Structure 1
Amino acid sequence: MTEFDPRLAEHDLGPASQHAIVVGAGLGGLSAAMRLGAKGYRVTVVDKLDRAGGRGSSITQNGHRFDLGPTIVTVPQVFRQLWQDCGRDFDADVDLRPMSPYYEIRWDDGSHFTVGPGEEFMRNEVARLSPRDVKGFERFLKDSEKRYEFGFEGLGRRPMNKLMDLIKELPGFVALRADQSVYKHAAKRVKDERLRMALSFHPLFIGGDPTHVTSMYILVSHLEKEFGVHYAMGGVQAMADAMVRVIKDQGGRVIQGETVDEILTKDGAVKGVKLGSGHVMGADIVVSNADPGHTYDQLLRNYPKKRWTPKKLKNARWSMGLFVWYFGTQGTAGKWSDVGHHTILNGPRYRGLLKDIFMKRHLADDMSIYLHRPSVTDPTAAPEGDDTFYALSPVPNLVGEGAVDWDTEVERYRQKVEAVLHNKLIPGFADHLSASEIFTPKTFESRYLSPHGAGFSLEPRIFQSAWFRPHNISEEVKGLYLVGAGTHPGAGIPSVVTSSEVLTQLVPNAAKVAAE
């Protein structure tokens, strides 16, 4: 007989309290738990990892804290609103610092482009790189603001689970040319290929191909201009830990190291979950922060689906995979003084590399790398005098029979990443290595239960966005809700937190559920 785990004992906030189980402690799941707690639910969050945060969690090796996923916050007000909805003060719980500059982009020809605060700063950078494109850049910023108002503040903060929700927005999609890609829109405004890349690469941070993802995502340029780029001291892990504290203060609980094996149903409605240990927990509602593919294919494997069938999910387009090398260097603080907190290092190709990653699913010999160096800002990221890095390279996901065999390719590819970093950015760094860890799409598949090792769930193409994306309220089973990167409004920290804001518009107050 399995020994009883006291963490799984029923907990209560009173005779009328309704139980909500949240599957997954990513930022979407944690923000959902906070908001459900504020609505009167007794909340249990269950997560398979030993740290909260999901893809925003961290690991520590030889004193180096590696922030595993997202590294920046672009719309801090979504967190301030979340804390306010729970009667708390975000800035009292999290030390969020504005970055300046935001990041630097470097090209293979030695040229560079620095992104920072203020229109004048950016206008001067554009003028330095490509004087003929200043007016086009100004038009691009106006375009991005319109799409922010429509896409983020408009449909991004409202439920999109009814077809009429989409139909009402069609005139806006048409007027803003949502059928065009991000890259095509940038190319319409500026002529310099480097600047086209600088204005179009952002969808890669939410798993999309800039040459195919809808131009609605140029709104990110407005987010950067209007709200800045921020870093949480202690990393995103510190934000996740602060969210856990709020949940516990509300009377909720967060259970780590437990896998949810199945969502249980009866008569077309959720009844609870079964854990990997076999323990069953009852619930009035279940909120899944797991990938929708995993939710419908695995957690509801014994429940007949009408829309999100295995066939439909198999035929969906998934975001690219990620190769991430986390490493620490000893005695290098102050070295490579021209390399800041965030650097984007471009390979010799842009569109050709995107085609290899997304269309051919071919592991190219060349690469582009995002280098994160938090230790220049945050002394808690590394031992004194040392540095902490991660180098991220977009790669194909694991879809198809010809998927990359990472068991054989991992070291070869790591050596290529090392060579690029040595030759282009941080020469000699390998002589100072004091910690090293590698994540490949196979790691994402096993650690985060991500279908096909995709880094960001479903790719945010136009017919996989808004109403076409898995809904925040499931049409398959009553009492099931979804939050996180794979549901509306999409991937990226602001969106996954906003998904819980949409959730609260769909979930009744606990008192109403009890009365029913």
Structure 2
Amino acid sequence: MQKKIIVIGGGFGGLSAAVRLAAKGHDVTIFDKRDKLGGRAYQYELDGFKFDGGPTVITAPYIFDDIFEAAGKSRHDYFELKPLDPFYRIFNSDGEYFDYMRNEEDILKQIDRWSPADKKGYLKFTENTVDIFSLFHPYTDKPFLTFKKMLNIMPGVIRLGAYKGTYRHVRKYIKHKFLRKVFSFHPLLIGGNPFDTPSIYLLIMQFEKEWGVHYAVGGVGSIIEGFRKLMDDLGVKVRLNSEVERIVVDHQKVSAVQLKDGSIHEADIVISNGDVAFTYRNLIPESSRRKYSNRSIDRKSYSSSLFVIYFGTKKRYLDSKLSHHNIIFGKEYKKLMREIFKGSKLPDDLSLYLHMPTISDESIAPDGCELFYVLSLVPNLKANINWEEIAEEYKDKVLSYLEEHYLPDLKENIVTEHYIDPPHFQNTLNSHYGAAFSFTPSLLQSAFFRPHNRSEEFDNLYFVGAGTHPGAGVPAVLSSGKIAAELIDPTPQNGAG
């Protein structure tokens, strides 16, 4: 039976759920507060440059393929993915780098340059990550609604040491200090501290090895545009510049959403692709909630935030030592991680992710220009940092560092720039405390212990996105859309198009 379904937010999770449910014949409407779809993957177009706002690392293309095939379409007709190798170029504080490649032999050659004695340990480490992946991958696109399911996986978690902090786990196999950072940084991609995040999340590493790391030609915005065209084909209604102010609750069920303009839109099902903490805390009266009180929400552990600078230069930097994806470690890594995740002030040191997509795709910038985005991990808004006062100074600090170490004469060659900071994550992206990845990926905030894809408060309210199972990162967020869609309508997909 056809249901009227409202999706709040047009990020990857909401788009995934909307397509799957529309393909099954449901009446789906997406409401998004911004002028374009994408959520974290919003694309800024400035002076002829196309800057991807958030995720840039695309793995597991089969997940995209499955979504389009569910609608009887081919993903290849909507957008193009280009494999990258190396996946990442990882720099130490002296500017020396390790190329993180897909092929095992290539990785071993890289290790040989740094610490030949660690090759044997790396092979054992790889066996362990394959075992972790084999155990947990089947759960990444299935709901985790019962504690019994959690109990089922715990023997494997213990046997594989997957409960240990990632860095500590890697240290067991790798002796060289820089290589330990190289093989333990993946939690940073989902807002976790490598020294705390359980090594169960090393399955991300295996996702990359299994299916590669890809670039979306035209930027991640081309994926969002592909989804938009697909949803047009399926009859999904998209309402932009339409901010949801309230979810209407009626006797422990949700019945409608109310927009900022006061209009009420009824629904049989509501899916929130908004931040889970924000959704409960700001869209539903506390008196209607039993488990997720404001106090319980505020006491949860939240991920880091981000300071991101998007900039375009009138000069190409093809003679630099940079690659497409670059990770630049600072001098005091462990101290920096502690200050980002547990501190109350802005750290002095920097660890940066520098994206240089024009090295792979000149079409996203004017002729003869280079496009960059540099991301710095910073504390979320639980820390007492006045970003209104220091944002410009911090931006200058990051750009000065890049100019001194990687991009000569950078500042005089910048022709356009834009930045986002923790208040942007809170006020524009509706992330509680400005946490860029929602709840931290700790053992007690994963799987069953993470807010469920079907609300524990209301039977017809569902969640997709980084704050629910299976967590942050593009593959996980897309999978959350599949989980929610199959909970709502478990009938087999008919591939309707």
- Cα shift readout 1:421-456 (whole Å, capped 9, x = no counterpart): 012111111111110111110111111001111110
CA distance in 1, matches of 2:409, 2:172: 41
Alignment equivalent of 1:262, drawn from 237, 242, 246: 246
CA distance in 2, matches of 1:52, 1:148: 32
Gaps of 5+ in 2: 493-497
What SS does the corresponding residue of 1:184 show, helix, strand or coil?
helix
Partner residue of 1:381? 364
CA contact (8 A) 2:450 2:468 kept: yes
1:134 is the counterpart of 2:119: yes
CA distance in 2, matches of 1:457, 1:31: 19
Partner residue of 1:74? 59
CA contact (8 A) 2:286 2:293 kept: no
Alignment equivalent of 1:245, drawn from 211, 229, 240: 229
- Cα shift readout 1:260-289 (whole Å, capped 9, x = no counterpart): 111112121111100111010010100000
CA separation of 1:505/1:335 partners in 2, compared to 1, >3 Å: closer, same or farther? Answer: closer
CA distance in 2, matches of 1:299, 1:380: 40
CA contact (8 A) 2:8 2:274 kept: yes
Shift of 1:124: 0.7
CA distance in 2, matches of 1:241, 1:234: 10
Runs of 4+ in 1 over 6 A off after TM superposition: none
Partner residue of 1:195? 179
Partner residue of 1:371? 354
CA contact (8 A) 1:40 1:510 kept: no
Shift of 1:303: 4.8
Decide which moves more: 205-214 or 107-116: 107-116
- Cα shift readout 1:226-250 (whole Å, capped 9, x = no counterpart): 2111000111111111112111211
1:41 is the counterpart of 2:26: yes
CA distance in 2, matches of 1:295, 1:393: 27
Q: Report the residue type matching 2:303 in the other structure.
A: S
Q: Report the residue type matching 2:347 in the other structure.
A: A
What SS does the corresponding residue of 2:316 show, helix, strand or coil?
coil
Q: Report the residue type matching 1:29 in the other structure.
A: G
Partner residue of 1:396? 379
Alignment equivalent of 2:304, drawn from 320, 337, 340: 320
Alignment equivalent of 2:291, drawn from 307, 329, 338: 307
Q: Report the residue type matching 2:11 in the other structure.
A: G
1:485 is the counterpart of 2:466: yes
Q: TM-score, normalised by structure 1?
A: 0.93
Gaps of 5+ in 1: 1-15, 512-516
CA distance in 2, matches of 1:335, 1:224: 26
Partner residue of 1:415? 396
Shift of 1:117: 2.4
CA distance in 2, matches of 1:109, 1:235: 30
- Cα shift readout 1:206-245 (whole Å, capped 9, x = no counterpart): 1001100111011222122221110001111111111121
- Summarize the alignment of residues 135-150 of structure 1 with structure 2, pairs less than 5 Å apart: 135-150=120-135
What SS does the corresponding residue of 1:418 show, helix, strand or coil?
helix
1:215 is the counterpart of 2:199: yes
What SS does the corresponding residue of 1:456 show, helix, strand or coil?
coil
Partner residue of 2:155? 171
What SS does the corresponding residue of 1:371 show, helix, strand or coil?
strand
1:351 is the counterpart of 2:334: yes
What SS does the corresponding residue of 1:264 show, helix, strand or coil?
strand
CA distance in 1, matches of 2:486, 2:414: 49
CA distance in 2, matches of 1:160, 1:334: 47
Shift of 1:336: 3.7
CA contact (8 A) 1:52 1:237 kept: no
Partner residue of 1:405? 386
Partner residue of 1:5? none
CA RMSD of aligned residues (A): 1.4
Q: Percent identity?
A: 37
CA distance in 2, matches of 1:509, 1:418: 50
CA contact (8 A) 2:249 2:288 kept: no
Partner residue of 1:452? 433
What SS does the corresponding residue of 2:238 show, helix, strand or coil?
strand
Q: Report the residue type matching 1:333 in the other structure.
A: R
CA distance in 1, matches of 2:324, 2:153: 39
CA distance in 1, matches of 2:3, 2:74: 26
1:342 is the counterpart of 2:313: no
CA distance in 2, matches of 1:267, 1:467: 26
CA distance in 1, matches of 2:387, 2:317: 35
Partner residue of 1:91? 76
- Cα shift readout 1:304-359 (whole Å, capped 9, x = no counterpart): 212221111110010001011111101x1254442221111111111111011111
Shift of 1:509: 5.9
